[in-house]
């Protein structure tokens, strides 16, 4: 019983020496020994055998808990194609690489195997077969459909499929993926994770999702290129085409000839067919339904070979796709008396599928596009038959039978009107090679038009965004070949997609990539200005101000030329301009235009001057004003907002949402200028419009509340500001999710308020969370990241934690200089506050040049009499006096240094910027 003792120790041990990899193969042997011992004990009554019986019972109980039927709920591996067989050699190599490889590593090591080869060669089926054959060796088996759903979405599916997690309403994908990953990291039993179809850019995402190197796990990746994963220690295994015997076995299995001995011509023909199909798994599997269909003719293999001979020069997989499509549309179904209708429906589904791109597609959406295609091709046909659920179900099953497509039956109950691929509803997933093939077929243009029209009619939301992504990824590469009608549909789809990414997903980087990819084609023509304006808006959000300004100014000029020319206007230099905004009448003050010799201000002589201005131009002015405001060009921004407001109030209802948005943005500029009394009525009017039109829990309400709270903060009304900030935060977290940039803005502002109330320990975690959100959503070099870094540094400086504050200021400075330019006032603010940290440390020689540079920037940008300029001048003079004193008194002893330190403490307040922490005011 030494063997049983060793196995029991193995099972109860840790690391890779455990039941899943070593003990399971001995189960049958142990059962035999246990039965023998029980029989001996029963016959002879030997009590000595009792301990051994107990030990064996324990071992078997542990083993049985690892059987496939016991852990069926612990995996989400799709079933293996019934036709898939053979490949024993590569399966053994996979086993040796994973299980054998881990024996050579330290306990708790991660092993990665990369299964690579050309598409259609059987990598996915091999991975599935390995998983099902070895379920008993793992605590859990996690399957991630990277090719179909993307790395992030596929990984997120593990939560509900295997790990028992539920994605909360409004929870952002990235945050949910973090929770899933944390759960995977905390798995105590060894597990297998499979990333299926990780190709191209998906490999980079995959690298962030790999389990930790110290985890007891196996990782299997299927891909067309293993090179990127080798740097992570992946062991490459190449998958070659099937051998002749394996290919023939697959065909025999499909024809139910497995038990028959094929000789003579039949065997030769099977070998020739396998060769003609390139021994590719996808081509061979596709041949089976065609062979079955031809069995009644007596020589199915010969007939299929003859048909293939007429298609010389076509790649093996494409050859089968062509024959499969033909069979799909012409074979007899034999049921229901409507075979032609079912075949026609099935062909229509196949044709539009190519334009939905990779991944699962809602069957409701496919049927809607197919109906459009069918109507365009068979205009005189009775399209009402598409409402017959029995016929469409038969058509879908037929597609799954003849084509390389997987029909997934969802758990939901779709309604007749459903057109969105919500979770749980039936989907079809096609092989990527077929999608590429069908897009090149005759009728592909009609299928494309039907698909584009269908998706253009949809709203992009959390349930449909993947369908928008799939269609966009396919059509963007053929934009130059599209006619005007299709281009307009693509424009609608792209605009809807990128708007969702920016406004709901907070994914500005992907939105920018979408807009950039379509810019050359969709950014031209009569409506191209709108695409370019959206790109300028996205660039503004990402802090790429110079290019954003260039684009928006060109758009504004184009719209000005397009619209009826306004009456003559008087152009004057800004530094001599005197003007009055009607919306500020009665406030007792006028805006103070910053001096800037590079820009002229346009002064309109009364409201009639804008009579011919379109809402398009007013919208472009809003985007231009937003960018100018971020650049510090406040007066120009305010003038543009005022012009836009006058146009909108005249063209639409004064309580229109567009009017409210402009009021909010105008008020933000006034707050930046310190004109708080003028800003508050604008915020109040905007808030009233938003709450009336959209309800009290809309993100627009949250934005306005956030901005009003910022104004109250500037007035020192902290107790009034905090509840507004908190309400704004609650609305955004619920409506947009906890990882949205607007949430980061609210956190940043609450932290500033808490800091000024002396609640530093409460403020710092809010800054840290805000920073994490911004870095992820906007990128680590966005100006908003610089703002939060600056604010955190100011808090640490206030606490005397100078060594921690200085690196944050330095990083903020680097971001600001790149995004805003080296002469921007924000750069001067950071330079000034960096100087304050050094001053407070007694490092006067290092502080002086920073103060000097800050002063020069402020003199040029703000003028000699601006309060911030006065602060910089005072700080520089003070630092120069301290430096001179130190140099004069060097060697006088510690008492001088103590006096200097005391002086630093008492005067440190003079070395803070007028606003050392910057509030975030959000545009709409």
In tens, the pLDDT along 689-724 reads 999 999 999 989 998 999 999 899 888 899 999 999
Are β-strands 110-116 and 405-408 bridged in parallel, bridged antiparallel, or unpaired? Answer: unpaired
The model's pTM is 0.60
What confidence score (pLDDT) does residue 245 get?
Answer: 74
- In words, the CATH class of domain 88-238 is alpha beta
Q: Say how many Å lie between the first and final Cα of the chain, rounded.
A: 76
pLDDT single digits (tens) 140-169: 899 998 887 888 888 988 888 788 888 776
What confidence score (pLDDT) does residue 59 get?
Answer: 58
What confidence score (pLDDT) does residue 833 get?
Answer: 93
Q: Which residues of the chain have pLDDT under 50?
A: 1-3, 6-24, 44, 46-48, 65-72, 102-107, 258, 313, 332-337, 411-424, 566, 569-609, 611, 892, 894-916
Q: Tokens 């200097």 correspond to what residue?
A: 900
Angle at 511 between CA 507 and CA 517, to 5 degrees: 150
What confidence score (pLDDT) does residue 394 get?
Answer: 85
- Where on the phi/psi map is residue 279: left (φ > 0), alpha (ψ -120 to 50), or beta? left
What is the CA 293 to chain-centroid distance, rounded? 44
What confidence score (pLDDT) does residue 534 get?
Answer: 92
Q: Where are the domains of the chain?
A: 1-66, 88-238, 241-332, 821-894
Is the domain spanning 821-894 CATH 2.130.10? The answer is no
> Which H or E run includes 728?
helix 718-736
pLDDT single digits (tens) 406-430: 777 553 333 333 333 344 468 888 8
What confidence score (pLDDT) does residue 908 get?
Answer: 37
What confidence score (pLDDT) does residue 680 get?
Answer: 92
Give the C-alpha separation, 702 to 714, whole Å.
Answer: 19
Give the full edge-to-edge strand order of the sheet including 361-362.
361-362, 427-430, 405-408
Both tokens of 343, joined, read 């075949």
What confidence score (pLDDT) does residue 593 get?
Answer: 35
Give the C-alpha separation, 582 to 642, whole Å.
Answer: 9
What confidence score (pLDDT) does residue 224 get?
Answer: 80
């Amino acid at each position: 019983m030494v063997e049983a003792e060793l196995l029991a120790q193995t099972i109860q041990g840790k690391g890779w020496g455990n039941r899943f990899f070593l003990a399971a193969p001995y189960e049958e042997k142990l059962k035999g020994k246990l039965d023998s011992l029980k029989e001996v004990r029963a016959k002879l009554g030997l009590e000595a055998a009792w301990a051994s019986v107990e030990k064996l019972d324990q071992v078997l109980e542990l083993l049985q808990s690892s059987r496939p039927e016991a852990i069926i709920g612990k995996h989400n591996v799709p079933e293996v194609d019934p036709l898939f067989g053979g490949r024993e050699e590569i399966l053994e190599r996979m086993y040796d690489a994973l299980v054998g490889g881990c024996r050579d590593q330290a306990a708790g090591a991660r092993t990665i195997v990369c299964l690579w080869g050309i598409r259609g060669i059987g990598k996915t089926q091999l991975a599935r077969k390995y998983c099902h054959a070895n379920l008993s060796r793992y605590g859990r088996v996690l399957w991630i459909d990277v090719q179909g759903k993307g790395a992030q979405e596929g990984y997120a599916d593990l939560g509900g499929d295997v790990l028992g997690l539920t994605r909360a309403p409004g929870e952002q994908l990235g945050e949910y993926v973090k929770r899933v990953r944390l759960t995977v990291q905390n798995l105590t039993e060894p597990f297998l994770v499979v990333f299926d179809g990780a190709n191209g850019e998906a490999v980079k995402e995959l690298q962030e999702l790999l389990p930790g190197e110290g985890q007891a796990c196996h990782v299997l990746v299927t891909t067309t290129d293993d090179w990127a994963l080798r740097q992570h220690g992946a062991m490459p295994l190449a998958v070659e085409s099937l051998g002749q015997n394996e290919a023939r076995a697959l065909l025999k299995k499909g024809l139910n000839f497995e038990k028959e001995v094929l000789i003579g011509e039949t065997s030769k023909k099977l070998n020739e067919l396998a060769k003609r199909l390139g021994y590719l798994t996808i081509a061979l599997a596709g041949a089976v339904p065609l062979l079955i269909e031809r069995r009644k003719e007596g020589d199915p293999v010969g007939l299929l070979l003859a048909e293939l001979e007429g298609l010389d020069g076509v790649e093996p997989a494409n050859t089968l796709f062509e024959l499969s499509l033909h069979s799909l549309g012409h074979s007899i179904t034999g049921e229901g008396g409507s075979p032609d209708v079912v075949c026609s429906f099935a062909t229509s589904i196949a044709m539009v599928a190519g334009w939905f791109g990779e991944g699962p597609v809602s069957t409701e959406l496919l049927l809607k596009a197919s109906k459009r295609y069918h109507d365009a091709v068979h205009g005189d046909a009775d399209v009402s038959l598409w409402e017959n659920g029995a016929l469409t179900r038969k058509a879908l099953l037929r597609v799954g039978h003849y084509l390389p497509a997987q029909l997934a039956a969802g758990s939901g109950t779709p309604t007749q009107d459903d057109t969105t691929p919500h979770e749980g509803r039936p989907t079809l997933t096609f092989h990527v090679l077929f999608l590429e093939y069908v897009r090149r077929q005759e009728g592909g243009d009609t299928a494309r038009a039907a698909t584009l029209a269908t998706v253009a009619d949809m709203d992009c939301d959390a349930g449909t965004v993947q369908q928008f992504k799939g269609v966009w990824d396919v059509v963007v590469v053929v934009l130059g070949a599209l006619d005007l009608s299709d281009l307009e549909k693509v424009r609608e789809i792209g605009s809807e997609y990128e708007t969702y990414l920016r406004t709901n997903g907070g994914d500005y980087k992907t939105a920018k990539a979408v807009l950039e990819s379509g810019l050359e084609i969709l950014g031209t023509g009569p409506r191209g200005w709108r695409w370019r304006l959206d790109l300028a808006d996205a660039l503004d959000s990402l802090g790429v101000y110079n290019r954003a300004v260039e684009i928006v100014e060109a758009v504004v000029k184009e719209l000005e030329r397009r619209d009826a020319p306004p009456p003559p206007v008087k152009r004057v230099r800004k530094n001599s301009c005197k003007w009055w905004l009607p919306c500020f009448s009665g406030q007792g003050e006028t805006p103070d235009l910053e001096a800037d010799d590079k820009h002229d201000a346009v002064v309109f002589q009364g409201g009639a001057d804008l009579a011919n201005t379109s809402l398009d131009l007013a919208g472009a002015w809003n985007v231009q004003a937003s960018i100018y405001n971020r650049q510090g060009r406040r007066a120009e921004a305010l003038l543009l907002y005022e012009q836009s407001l006058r146009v909108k109030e005249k063209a639409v209802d004064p309580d229109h949402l567009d009017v409210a948005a402009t009021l909010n943005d105008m008020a933000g500029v006034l707050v930046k200028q310190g004109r708080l009394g003028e800003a508050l009525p604008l915020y109040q009017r905007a808030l009233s419009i938003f709450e009336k039109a959209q309800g009290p829990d809309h993100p627009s309400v949250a934005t306005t509340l956030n901005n009003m709270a910022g104004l109250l903060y500037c007035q020192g009304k902290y107790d009034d500001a905090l509840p507004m900030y908190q309400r704004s935060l609650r609305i955004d977290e619920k409506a947009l999710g906890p990882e949205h940039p607007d949430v980061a803005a609210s956190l940043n502002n609450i932290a500033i308020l808490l800091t000024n109330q002396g609640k530093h320990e409460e403020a710092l975690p809010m800054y840290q969370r805000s920073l994490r959100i911004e870095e992820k959503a906007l990128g680590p070099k966005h100006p908003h990241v610089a703002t939060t870094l600056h604010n955190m540094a100011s808090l640490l400086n206030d606490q005397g934690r100078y060594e921690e504050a200085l690196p944050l200021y330095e990083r903020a400075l680097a971001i600001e200089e790149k995004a805003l330019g080296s002469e921007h006032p924000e750069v001067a603010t950071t330079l000034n506050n960096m100087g304050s940290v050094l001053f407070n440390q007694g490092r006067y020689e290092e502080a002086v040049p920073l103060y000097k540079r800050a002063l020069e920037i402020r003199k040029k940008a703000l003028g000699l009499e601006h309060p911030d300029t006065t602060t910089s001048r005072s700080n520089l003079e003070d630092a120069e006096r301290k430096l001179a004193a130190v140099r004069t008194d060097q060697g006088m002893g510690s008492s001088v240094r103590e006096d200097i330190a005391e002086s630093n403490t008492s005067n440190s307040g003079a070395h803070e910027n007028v606003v050392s922490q910057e509030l975030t005011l959000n545009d709409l």
